[in-house]
Amino acid sequence: MSKRRGNNEGSIFQLTDGRWRATISLGYRNGKRWRKVFEAPTRREVQRKLTKALGNQQRGIPIAVARQTVGQFLTCWLRDVVKNSVKPKTFRTYSDLCELHLIPGLGKRPMEKLSPQNVQAFLNEKLNYVSCPHCNSRL
C-alpha cells in the first residue's frame, strides 16, 4: 500500500532540521497557486493541524493564508462576496453593521484566534450597553 496522499489531501514531509511540515492547496489566485503551510516538531502534531484545516475547508470555513484580522476579513467579505450578491439597501445595512459594531469590537483580533467565546463576550457587551437611559431596561 502506498503512503502517497491523494489529490486535495495535502502533503506532509520532514524538513532537514527535523521538524515536520504540512501543506494544503487553497486553489489559484491571479494565476498563482496558494498554499497554507503548517509546521510542528512531530509528525503527529502536523497531521493534527492538517486534518483540522482539511475539515474546515470541507465545511466551507475559510483558511487564513496570512495573519488576517477580523476587520480585514469583513472588509474583503463585504467587497468581494456581499456587494455583488445582495440588493444595495441590504449591502448598506451589512456595511453599516460591520463598520459601526463588528469592526470596532472584534476587528483587531486575528481570524485564527477568533473563538465562540470572543463572539459571545462581544454580544453580551453589546446587549448590556444598549439600554434605555430613562428606565435602565434593555431595548
Query: Do residue 125 and residue 75 come from a single domain?
Result: yes
Residue with cell string 503527529: 44
Query: Do residue 76 and residue 123 come from a single domain?
Result: yes
First to last CA, the chain: 63
Rg (CA), the chain: 20
Beta-ladder partners of 12? 22
Instruction: Specify the number of domains making up the chain.
Output: 2
89-94 contacts: CB < 8 A, separation 24 or more?
A: none
- For 115, the domain range is 70-129
Is 76 a domain residue? yes
pLDDT for 139 equals 47
- CB atoms < 10 A from the CB of 108, how many? 11
- What is the enclosing helix (H) or strand (E) of 20? strand 20-29
Is 20 a domain residue? yes
Query: Do residue 94 and residue 118 come from a single domain?
Result: yes
Is 65 a domain residue? no
Is 115 a domain residue? yes
pLDDT for 70 equals 92
Query: Do residue 47 and residue 98 come from a single domain?
Result: no
Largest distance between two CA atoms of the chain: 73
Query: Do residue 44 and residue 91 come from a single domain?
Result: no
Is 4 a domain residue? no
Is 6 a domain residue? no
Q: Smallest Cα–Cα separation from 121: which of 132, 106, 110, 131?
A: 106
Query: Do residue 77 and residue 125 come from a single domain?
Result: yes
pLDDT for 113 equals 84
Side-chain-facing half-sphere of 69: CA atoms under 13 Å: 11
- Tens place of pLDDT for every residue, the chain, 139 residues? 456 555 566 889 999 999 999 998 887 777 888 888 889 999 999 999 999 888 888 877 767 666 788 998 899 889 888 888 999 999 999 999 999 999 999 999 988 788 899 999 999 998 886 555 555 555 4
Is 98 a domain residue? yes
pLDDT for 41 equals 93
Is 137 a domain residue? no
Query: Do residue 88 and residue 45 come from a single domain?
Result: no
Query: Do residue 82 and residue 54 come from a single domain?
Result: no
Distance CA 102, CA 137 (A): 23
